[in-house]
Amino acid sequence: MIQALDKSFIPVLQEKIDNLNKPKGSLGRIESLALQIGLIQHTLTPKLCHPCHILFGGDHGIEREGVSVSPREVTWQQMINFGRGGGGVNMFCRQHGFKLHVVDVGVDYDFDHEKCPHIIDRKIAHGTRNFLHEPAMTQEEYERALTVGAEMVDKCHAEGCNIISFGEMGIANTSPSSIWMHLFLGIPLDKCVGAGAGLNDEGIRHKYEVLSSSLLTFRNSLTEHDSSLFTLHSSFPLSYFGGYEMVAAIGGMLRAAEHGMVVIVDGFIMTACMLAASRIDKNVMDYAVFGHCGDESGHKMMLDGMGAQPLLSLGLRLGEGTGAICAYPILQSAVNMINEMDNFQHAEITKYF
């Protein structure tokens, strides 16, 4: 169970931040970040330790319907590429000192683990089923994916990690993300569906039609009992539409919050996962820092619907968790500010407010 943050500690933290030798509020978002991290760690001297990034890989049955310009094999090819250090996520992890874990939860490929020792094998199946016709995964598979995510976070936490981010590799995973956005925020589906890896206007229309048909099948499958269950719990729409890599990320986010870790949220897909996680336990949002607003259509609308304020807006849409890692130095600056800036009294500067 995720503990709600102790809001009674806010005045103490805010007083320290306001008495640093700067005009009150002049460091803007950096100040509110310092407050959030201090609340998460319940200390006036927060620190960020051993940052880790977990990238989950999985394929999607809905890819067979032509909802992405990228072919399915790109998933496994990129998973191998990450081991060579050649991905965008590798570069940013090296730059910012993150330890990268690459996890196969459901890639439609059999890796040679002697040649690919960097890929952690937690495969549940060779991709999900096609949710145009049936649920993407069973309840048992859904629970296994949550467990994989939690176990990976436990491993990072045991190594001293207190700040973590998640990424994904899974062709067509903007499709379930769009559906979750539609179901959980009530935003019209056409506003949730975008270009993904690069669909043209005709491709976006086709994607919308496929997802509309999928939703119709989903709703027709709900009995009166299921409908009431859906309003209370999220497991059915998550297992019906989700990818193994996405559900693993949800499990990881929830477990990270249980451990009191800061969770940096990446782009459209990982924001959808945090949205889903918040429907399981609303307190998870207290531990989330949203790294950026990406270039995928609907991402800003989803962030706004969640009341989330992203740190960066760089037009990113690569995925892999790259935007979250790019945002990390801003969090480090927030921690440095509260720990290293002098205050008015000690610096013998007149406090003028």
Please name the residue ranges forming H helices in 97-173: 139-158
Beta bridge partners of 292: 312
State yes or no: is 140 an active-site residue: no
Can you tell me the distance from the alpha carbon of 153 to that of 254, in angstroms, rounded to the nearest whole number?
9
| Residue type at 3 in one-letter notation | Q
The residue ranges of DSSP E strands in 152-284, in sequence order, are 163-169, 262-265
Q: Which of 209, 320, 340, 348 is catalytic?
A: 320
- Going by the DSSP 8-state scheme, the letter that residue 160 receives in this structure is T
- Which bin fits 128, alpha (ψ -120 to 50), beta or left (φ > 0)? beta
Determine if residue 198 is left, alpha or beta; phi over 0 gives left, psi from -120 to 50 gives alpha, anything else beta: left
Q: Alpha-carbon distance 245 to 120, whole Å?
A: 13
- By annotation, the residues acting in catalysis are 320
